[in-house]
Structure 1
């Protein structure tokens, strides 16, 4: 079991928002407890700090077959699950299984862009896959 307490990010995969090559394939995140984490589950394929050197560009990194299972706890922000994938290389085959993340003792929100996948079991916040 993994624990995150008051961190900025929990389970994160990021790539720069500019032309690039590479892949992330076959990653399983399992049995994680979040406590007041700013971004419990975050996928950012458009990472561009300060919009310098990469604004309005797309990552070419391919992300697929990533599973999140048995992730529980609290988010420090309203959006607990954020999947911001690239228009050039959308995320594929992403799975959410038995997720329960809250914000201020209520269900949190999720955000999805350019992603395909499925959710099963109990998933809170509601899946946007």
Structure 2
């Protein structure tokens, strides 16, 4: 998730609605990701934390088991990408670059699955 976060941050996306609300484009958009067996909305939110200038969304990935790690990650990245694109479209923000980032992440994982299968400390 660390490389994914860096790539997404590199897009420098903001949502006009929250630019206006916070009176700045200096705020954080946070996506929480969870797998669920329950029937839930695919994306929930936004939760707005005005003091901290944070907007939170929750992406619920329908639980599915995989035998192959790269297939699992492709499924997860597809769901995350769809969730982020859904949010951007909902707020009339251009989602350009999201699919390319997800494809880049899939290629990274496919090139060295064992590296990405290990837990890493957050820097």
Task: Indicate the TM-score class for this superposition, using the shorter chain for normalisation.
Answer: under 0.3
Structure with the higher strand share, 1 or 2: 1
TM-score (norm 1): 0.22
TM-score (norm 2): 0.23
Q: Which has the larger radius of gyration?
A: 2
Structure with the higher helix share, 1 or 2: 2
